[in-house]
Amino acid sequence: MSSSCSSFKQNAAVAIHDPKLQGALGKLGDGLQARRAAAVGQLPEFDALRNDAQRIKRQVMADLDCYLEQFESKVLEQGGQVHWASTADDARNAVLDICQKVGAKTVTKGKSMVTEELELNNFLADNGIEPVETDLGEYILQLRKEAPSHIVVPAVHLQQDDIAKTFVKSHAQLDPSRDLTEPERLVGEAREALRERFFAADVGITGANYMVAETGSTVIVTNEGNGDLTQTLPKVHVVVTTIERVIPTLEDLSTFLRLLPRSATGQEATAYVTLSSGPKREDDWHGPQEFHVVILDGGRSELLGSENQDVLNCIRCGACMNHCPVYGAVGGHAYGWVYPGPIGSALTPALIGVEKSSALPNASTFCGRCVEVCPVKIPLTDIMRRWRVEEQTKKLTSPFQRAGLSAWAWLATRPGLYQALTGLTAWGMKVVGRRRGGLTRLPFASGWTQYRNFPTPEGKTFHAQMKQKAKTKANLGVRYE
Ligand code: SF4
């Protein structure tokens, strides 16, 4: 997928001044954050589960090849097929090949971020196959020709009236003056529009939240039931997923099923958890005649053994973006590629190169809320910091910024000089700030003062306060003796 990550600053400036988007993003704090907090609060062992999940994921990454081979052999045993794809091109062609072999004209699709990564809809359409998104959010976005702005709630950037207008325009055969003011009416209308598409589809494409190595099953965790219709009604089911989604056992699956919905939407469990293990058997009532799993690497294996490997542990719950002040201010489209928010800032440089995406690791305040809520304890801020170092090392930053950081590094390793200079600077800022009633302009901080005054420093510097505290402690220690 083409990216506009390097335009993050410009995208963010537009997003901040978009009142509709700002209204829609307000849902994150009141809705998803609050619901997660309530659900987590009711499960005392939540943190222990996070440790278990991190351990399982690290165990998988240490022996990823073995688990993938075990998964493949189980799929084959059950009559399915596995297609290995090193690149996005390989994955797209594998899906197209399967569709063309059965003469597919229409495919239905469940929600899948990997297929966004592949730009699969455009590719299929260019090859004469009509893709139909069946997840409600994705369906709305397909009608609007927009990309998802969140990995769990793809249309979170829209308000209800935006969706109503889209339906009036797209469902042109219906009465344009119909009442679409209630969410239930919108859902009902989408359901009607999609029903016949489910029955007409030749191939159903879904993603996979997990691949279970011991059983050869793919797992989808959903709330709408569209995924089940997508994978059981057509004669062919294609799962498009990535190498890191494999987990060893069903027992491990139960750990993730307790973490994922609580972290994502604050639910104890989602409405549907569906395991697919091969094509329809003789005594099955329903099911596809063919079952294919397309497994994409797409640059992920290069992370194995690296310092940033933990980013592969992500279970795509979206909690990091729901709690990120930057995502909450600018939304997902500003990030310019498939995965927004903190996980996007940590993962995107690995998948499309830091050269194209260095703006993203810098789109963080490093407040650490993403790390606190991540159900698999990915050190997202550490990973982003390493991408910033790589950006610096590869000289992707401006010469001015590099010189500034080098000067800072030189100064920071000379504590005496550092404290003297920062003390002097703080004193100067205090004098000027008091005289002018605030700091309206500062060298090296014009990005800040362009929009708001810099606060006038008050009291003693941090180092002076630390020295004072140490002195007081020493004095008290003498008195106690
Ligand atoms: S990084 Fe963690 S919090 Fe963010 S989507 Fe992945 S699992 Fe969820």
Domains and CATH numbers, the chain: 43-298 (3.40.50.10420), 415-480 (no CATH)
For residue 287, pLDDT beyond 80: yes
Per-residue pLDDT band for 480 (boundaries 50, 70, 90) equals: very low
Check residue 118 and give its pLDDT: 97
Per-residue pLDDT band for 314 (boundaries 50, 70, 90) equals: very high
> Which range, of 125-139, 221-235, 448-462, averages the lowest pLDDT?
448-462
For the beta carbon of residue 171, count every other beta carbon within 10 angstroms. 17
Based on the number of CB atoms within 10 Å of its own CB, is 55 exposed (0-12), middle (13-18) or buried (19 or more)? Answer: middle
- When pLDDT is averaged across residues 139-162 and rounded to a whole number, the result is 96
Sheet holding 81-85, edge to edge: 81-85, 290-296, 236-242, 203-206, 106-109, 130-133
Check residue 311 and give its pLDDT: 98
- Provide the b/e sequence for 125-137 (b: ≥16 CB within 10 Å): eeeebebbbbbbb
Instruction: Kindly report the protein residue whose alpha carbon is nearest to atom 4 of ligand 1.
Output: 320
Mutate to test the pocket of ligand 1, among 314, 371, 372 (most ligand atoms within 8 A of CB): 314
Residue 319 CA, closest ligand 1 atom number: 3
Protein residues whose CB sits closer than 6 Å to any atom of ligand 1: 263, 314-320, 343, 373-376, 378, 380
Range among 267-281, 411-425, 459-473 rated most confident: 267-281
For residue 85, pLDDT beyond 70: yes
Check residue 462 and give its pLDDT: 83
pLDDT in tens, 357-393: 999 999 999 999 999 999 999 999 999 999 999 999 9
Per-residue pLDDT band for 317 (boundaries 50, 70, 90) equals: very high
Helix 34-41 and helix 250-264, axial crossing angle in degrees, nearest 10: 130
Q: Are 36 and 319 in contact (CB under 8 A)?
A: yes
> Which range, of 1-5, 126-130, 363-367, 425-429, averages the lowest pLDDT?
1-5
**Total residues belonging to the chain:** 481
* Distance in Å, CA 127 to ligand 1 centroid: 34
Instruction: Kindly report the protein residue whose alpha carbon is nearest to atom 8 of ligand 1.
Output: 317
Q: How many CA atoms lie within 13 A of 1 on its CB side?
A: 22
Gap between the terminal Cα atoms of the chain: 69
- When pLDDT is averaged across residues 133-162 and rounded to a whole number, the result is 96
Check residue 444 and give its pLDDT: 76
For residue 481, pLDDT beyond 60: no
* Distance in Å, CA 379 to ligand 1 centroid: 10
Instruction: Kindly report the protein residue whose alpha carbon is nearest to atom 2 of ligand 1.
Output: 374
Mutate to test the pocket of ligand 1, among 376, 381, 383 (most ligand atoms within 8 A of CB): 376
- When pLDDT is averaged across residues 300-329 and rounded to a whole number, the result is 97
Per-residue pLDDT band for 459 (boundaries 50, 70, 90) equals: confident
Residue 318 CA, closest ligand 1 atom number: 5
* Distance in Å, CA 266 to ligand 1 centroid: 14
Check residue 479 and give its pLDDT: 55
Quick one: tokens of 464? 């002076």
Q: How far out from the chain centre does Cα 149 lie?
A: 9
Check residue 476 and give its pLDDT: 75
Instruction: Give the torsion sign (CA, 106, 109, 114, 116).
Output: positive
* Distance in Å, CA 341 to ligand 1 centroid: 9
Check residue 27 and give its pLDDT: 73
**Distance between CA atoms of 135 and 31, rounded to whole angstroms?**
20
Mutate to test the pocket of ligand 1, among 57, 374, 381, 382 (most ligand atoms within 8 A of CB): 374
Helix 160-170 and helix 183-200, axial crossing angle in degrees, nearest 10: 40
Mean pLDDT of the chain: 94
Determine what percent of the chain is predicted with pLDDT higher than 90.
Answer: 84
Mutate to test the pocket of ligand 1, among 50, 58, 244, 263 (most ligand atoms within 8 A of CB): 263
Do the strands 106-109 and 210-212 form a parallel or antiparallel pair, or are they unpaired? unpaired
- Compute CA distances 267 → 184, 346, 422, whole Å: 20, 26, 49
Q: Are 16 and 147 in contact (CB under 8 A)?
A: no
Determine what percent of the chain is predicted with pLDDT higher than 70.
Answer: 99
- When pLDDT is averaged across residues 306-313 and rounded to a whole number, the result is 98
Tally helices (H) and strands (E) across the chain.
Answer: 23, 10
DSSP 8-state class, residue 338: S
> Which range, of 7-21, 46-60, 452-466, averages the lowest pLDDT?
452-466
Alpha helices (H) along 19-119: 19-27, 34-41, 46-62, 64-77, 88-101, 113-118
**Distance between CA atoms of 346 and 421, rounded to whole angstroms?**
34
Check residue 195 and give its pLDDT: 92
Non-local (6+) Cβ contacts of 440 within 8 A are: 449, 453, 454
- When pLDDT is averaged across residues 14-23 and rounded to a whole number, the result is 94
Per-residue pLDDT band for 187 (boundaries 50, 70, 90) equals: very high
- Considering all CA atoms of the chain, what is the largest pairwise distance in Å, rounded to the nearest integer? 89
Q: How far out from the chain centre does Cα 238 lie?
A: 23
* Distance in Å, CA 435 to ligand 1 centroid: 47
Check residue 128 and give its pLDDT: 98
